Amino acid sequence: EAQVTQNPRYLITVTGKKLTVTCSQNMNHEYMSWYRQDPGLGLRQIYYSMNVEVTDKGDVPEGYKVSRKEKRNFPLILESPSPNQTSLYFCASSLYPSGANVLTFGAGSRLTVL
Amino acid sequence: AQRVTQPEKLLSVFKGAPVELKCNYSYSGSPELFWYVQYSRQRLQLLLRHISRESIKGFTADLNKGETSFHLKKPFAQEEDSAMYYCALKFGSGGSYIPTFGRGTSLIVHP
């Protein structure tokens, strides 16, 4: 089944403890992106990647890192998580970063930083 | 700067009533516009896009370039339409478009 898979789905951690949220897609999509969803603020883009080894900052990149070493994977790294990074995170991908291409979303990862 | 505005955080209607979820955008180029929907405990999914000019689940959206709007409409709301709706704009040039989302509108349809 064609899909975007995120792990973990739920995570509670403590301030400063590095964590990685994985994202994998099996559709050979070039474009991948991370969003965070917060009440009243909607979806905000953290980082995106146009293709392997090509990444760029979105609207709210502070405190996050990403890498795109292979096409299917786009992990989100929080080197030193803080409570303001408590949020619901979504990974998404599309075949190409062109106008008409539709985003396919993962199921979301709910992160709580204490 | 490119921007998508959804002025209503919450829209509450009764079953059978018409629904209009507003979306305005600011972009000087030719926009690609989409509506995504997130039902309770489900992932975001595409509802419709303006280039398709289609009706999905009874919803339609017309791009009005003069008013820079892409409002989502349905003549008779159903309870199963209750969800979070996001308007999205893709802006860019050539082969590279970056999607930007509005803040979302939560639609509640009462029985």
Hey, which bits of B1-111 come out as E strands?
3-5, 10-14, 19-21, 24-26, 32-38, 45-49, 60-61, 72-74, 83-93, 96-101, 105-110
Q: Contact at 8 Å (CB) between A90 and A34?
A: yes
Report whether pLDDT(B95) > 60.
no
Q: What is the DSSP string of B50-77?
A: GGGT--BTTBEE--BTTTTB--EEESS-
- A8-22, A89-103, B37-51, B92-106: which has the minimum mean pLDDT? B92-106
Residue-wise pLDDT for B26-49, tens only, equals: 887 777 889 999 999 889 999 998
Quickly count helices (H) and strands (E) in chain A: 0, 11
Instruction: Give chain A's mean pLDDT.
Output: 93
Contact B79, B69 (CB under 8 A): no
Show residues of chain B in contact with A34, CB under 8 Å. Answer: none
pLDDT of B51:
77
pLDDT at B31: 79
pLDDT per residue as tens digits for the range A10-30: 999 999 999 999 999 999 999
Element (H, E) at A37: strand A31-38
pLDDT band of residue A2 (cuts 50, 70, 90) is confident
* CA atoms of A112 and A93, how far apart (whole Å): 24
B81 by DSSP, 3-state: which?
helix
Phi, psi of B79 (to 5 degrees): -60, -35
Q: Rounded to 5 degrees, what are φ and ψ at A48?
A: -140, 165
CB contact, 8 Å: B44 with chain A? yes
Residue A88: closest CA among A10, A23, A26: A10
Give the per-residue pLDDT at B77: 97
pLDDT in the model for residue A100: 66
Question: Does A90 sit within 8 Å of B43, measured CB to CB?
Answer: yes
Read off the pLDDT of each residue in A23-38 and give the average, rounded to a whole number.
95
Q: Rounded mean pLDDT of A37-45?
A: 90
Higher-confidence residue of A72 and B64: namely A72
B89 Cβ under 8 Å from any chain A Cβ: no
Best mutation site among A9, A34, A43, A109 for testing chain B: the one with the most B CBs within 10 Å? A43
Map residue A52 onto helix, strand or coil: coil
For residue A81, the tally of other CB atoms under 10 A from its CB is 22
Assign A101 a pLDDT band (cuts: 50, 70, 90).
Answer: confident
Q: Range with the lowest mean pLDDT among A77-86, B55-64, B88-97?
A: B88-97
Say how far apart CA B29 and CA B31 lie, in whole Å: 6
* CA distance, residue B16 to nearest chain A CA (Å): 27
- Percent of chain B having pLDDT more than 70? 95
Partner-chain contact A108 B9, CB within 8 Å? no
Contact list, B34 vs chain A (CB under 8 Å) = 102
pLDDT for A48 equals: 93
